[in-house]
Chain A
Amino acid sequence: MSFKDKLLSSYIALEDYLEFDSPLHDIRNTAIKIFEEKGFPSKKEEAWKYTSLNSLLKNDYSVYSNKERNVELKNVRKYFLHEIDTYKLVFVDGVYNSFLSETTHDTLDVCLMSSALNKSKYKPIIETYFNKAAKSDSLTALNTAFTKEGAYIHIPAHKEVEKPIEIINFSTGNEASMFLQPRNLIVVGENAHVQIIERHQSLSSNEVLTNSVTEIFAEKRAYVDYYKIQTDEATASLIDNTYISQQRDTVCRVHTFAFGGNLVRNNLNFYQNGEHCDSTLKGITILESKQHVDHNTLVHHIAPNCESHQDYKGLFAESSTGVFNGKIIVEKDAQKTDAFQQNNNILIDDKATINAKPQLEIFADDVKCSHGCTIGQFDEDALFYLRSRGIGLKEAKALLMYAFANTVLESVKIPELKVRINKLIANKIGVSLGFEL
């Protein structure tokens, strides 16, 4: 039985436990039909030309975890930004772990998708927002059909959340290979501010494939600062589908740190539905061995007078491969759009590959759009400068790589996170940081 067939029959089994005749059930049914029709994407599709899921889909994944597995704090402490100073939503093999989590209902809701779907007090929010920004491509639809657990975050109007929220998905290796589908819904009310950190972390060397969907809604003047930390094990793969719907005067920023995992596909979609939206998409990708990371971004400029800034930097060693596919659509009404896209890559070894493809579809006539893409080696003048100070060629290159990646960190607004990522980069590249004045 193919994995697709296994999923389709699992859905039939799931239906027995589902709410009947609810709008949500209809959404699930529609979604599973889409998946049934389209199946998993193949390389024949333009958007999947450079990323193949074939080898991953050969695994016999468990769709549900049979046993609950406990995770001890001392073993996973290092994956948290803070023990106390953050809200936490921790899932272990797709199941909520209350011991490691810190939720709240005090003025804001940081809780579970499962309770939001089942309790009537959340009904208006679910009906207004759930699956409203997500596209109906086959992978998103697959997640929608199986929606069960994930983060539910609702920040009411004018609330400035005082500490970051961490969403952490652990997989224990309890099953030989595991398929996970977290589903997150984040609604940020008018003039509310929030910072969120998301990570997926495998705790064993068993295979994991995660197909995650996150919908973020920013109501007018909201501020959303989102960080994706992708430093997973070499046997863990991730398909991340994130949809951000912005109303007028909102600022939404997503930083993606792609340093680990086997195969990672980031489908990051921004929709600017009101005037004066500001969208920032930044990424640092540092890969080695046979790792593969595909950044597939979309910025859809629908309303006028908006800005978008994309800056992705990649360092590719050994036989790793990278893809940057950045699409900007400027609708006819989106006059005075200012869209900027930059993608710089360094290939460290001969066998490393990067496929970069900017796509601009502009239907408005009064816009400022610029994009730049470089695939390069090292700046000779900079190398000579460093070497003339006694720094050997290997270290000089490492220092330049570190510098190259480090520039993206300037816009990280959580100081502890900045320090952590900075150290990760330094370790990855092999430069010692020592002290700063």
Chain B
Amino acid sequence: MLKIKDLYAGFEGKDILQGINLEVKAGEVHAIMGPNGSGKSTLASVVAGKDEYEVSRGYITFENEDISELDPEERAHKGIFLSFQYPVEIPGVSVTNFIKTAINETRKAKGEEDMPASEMLKMIKEKADMLEIDRKFLSRSLNEGFSGGEKKRNEIFQMAMLEPKLAILDETDSGLDIDALKIVANGVNKLKSEDNAVVVITHYQRLLDYIVPDFVHVLMNGKIVKSGTKELAYELEEKGYDWIKEELV
């Protein structure tokens, strides 16, 4: 599904990603872990197509198509979703209105008709219930004055509504208490199928108890330096990252 080959990317002429190689197949869950500043969020933004990052070498393909030059909205239309570490507050646009626009824009790009309002309302209700989101919350301005946990839950709500093929969850666990974490993880698991894939970016092993990865990768200084199975996450939790550094030397 997603193939990243020898990717170098960054901004202002400085590469933060230093040769990433990663392949994510349909049905898989990958976790990317690593210390602060290792390039985890940059990788997420580059895959989602943030303008300010330049790809200087390598390429990204999604379903065998090079997407390196596509606009963020075009990648979204293909089924790539990024759950933001810091969702942007947009006062004046309600959650509902935002999601409605996002869904219909995506349908329009695929040459489909707008989703009928009744169908959308039904879907909103269903997904909001699944994530235990209060209806009142949906008429509030997008992310404005939301707590950290509310913002993250709102991200997963958007994911549930947009039903992406590939979801990249950037630090979705930060700011969540254990109950909220369970609800969010449960939501992600319910959306998981043989046809889609999830990349979880996290500092801590905690989230991986609930969203169980098939593969765990360690990112350091812009490179994947070690890959393994979920046991690697436990090892990192216990021993930190220093032993990997030593191993590399």
**Chain A interface (Cβ < 8 Å from any Cβ of B):** 379-382, 384-393, 395-396, 399-400, 402-407, 431-437
Contact = CB atoms under 8 A, between A and B. Distances in A.
19 contacts: A382-B90, A384-B48, A384-B51, A385-B87, A388-B50, A388-B81, A389-B76, A390-B73, A390-B77, A390-B102, A391-B105, A400-B90, A402-B93, A403-B93, A404-B92, A406-B92, A407-B92, A436-B97, A437-B94
Size band of the interface chain B makes with A: 35 or more
B201 to A, nearest CB: 15
Contacts, number: 99
A433 B97 contact: yes
A389 B100 contact: no
Nearest to B109: A390
A243 B158 CA distance: 49
Q: Which of B72, B81, B96, B139 has its CB near the most chain A CB atoms (within 10 A)?
A: B72
B98 interface: yes
Q: Which of B48, B87, B90, B91 has its CB near the most chain A CB atoms (within 10 A)?
A: B90
B1 interface: no
Given A384-B72, A434-B117, A395 B92 contact: no
Given A405-B92, A407-B91, 10 more contacts: A380-B52, A385-B84, A386-B102, A388-B73, A399-B93, A403-B93, A404-B92, A432-B101, A437-B124, A437-B138
B105 A403 contact: no
B17 interface: no
A433 B93 CA distance: 10
B100 A387 contact: no
A402 B92 contact: yes
A212 B121 CA distance: 47
Nearest to B91: A407
A405 B93 CA distance: 10
Q: Which of A391, A404, A431 has its CB near the most chain B CB atoms (within 10 A)?
A: A391
A381 B90 CA distance: 11
A433 B162 CA distance: 19
A437 B97 CA distance: 9
B135 interface: yes
Contacts of A407: 91-92
A387 B48 CA distance: 9
Contacts of B97: 433-434, 436
Contact of A390 (B76, B94, B124): B76
Nearest to A379: B88
Interface string B105-135: 1100100000001000100100000000001
Nearest to B94: A436
B73 A406 contact: no
A382 B89 CA distance: 8
B69 to A, nearest CB: 15
Interface in B39-72: 48-52, 71-72
A399 B90 CA distance: 10
B51 to A, nearest CB: 7
Contacts of B90: 382, 385-386, 399-400, 403
A385 B49 CA distance: 11
A382 B144 CA distance: 12
A406 B100 CA distance: 18
B82 interface: yes
Contact of A384 (B50, B94, B138): B50
B101 A437 contact: no
Given A387-B76, A389-B76, A392-B73, A381 B88 contact: yes
A433 B90 CA distance: 16
B88 A382 contact: yes
Given A403-B90, A436-B139, A393 B101 contact: no
Contacts of B105: 390-392, 395
Contacts of A388: 48-50, 72-73, 75-76, 81-82, 84
A121 B105 CA distance: 63
B71 A393 contact: yes
Given A387-B71, A392-B105, A407-B92, A437 B139 contact: yes
Nearest 6 interchain pairs by C-beta: A403-B92, A406-B92, A390-B76, A390-B106, A387-B72, A389-B102
A400 B92 CA distance: 8
A59 to B, nearest CB: 39
Contacts of B77: 390
A433 B138 CA distance: 15
A173 to B, nearest CB: 37
A390 to B, nearest CB: 4
Nearest to A425: B92
B18 to A, nearest CB: 23
Nearest to A391: B105
A431 B98 CA distance: 11
Contacts of A386: 90, 98, 102
B38 to A, nearest CB: 21
Contacts of B141: 403
Contacts of B124: 437
A405 B109 CA distance: 27
A409 to B, nearest CB: 8
A436 B96 contact: yes
Contacts of B103: 390
B94 A391 contact: no
A380 B102 CA distance: 18
Nearest to A426: B97
Nearest to A405: B92
A258 B237 CA distance: 59
B88 A385 contact: yes
Contacts of B84: 385, 388
B101 A395 contact: yes
Given A380-B51, A390-B77, A390-B109, A434 B92 contact: no
A381 B45 CA distance: 11
Contacts of B135: 437
B139 A389 contact: no
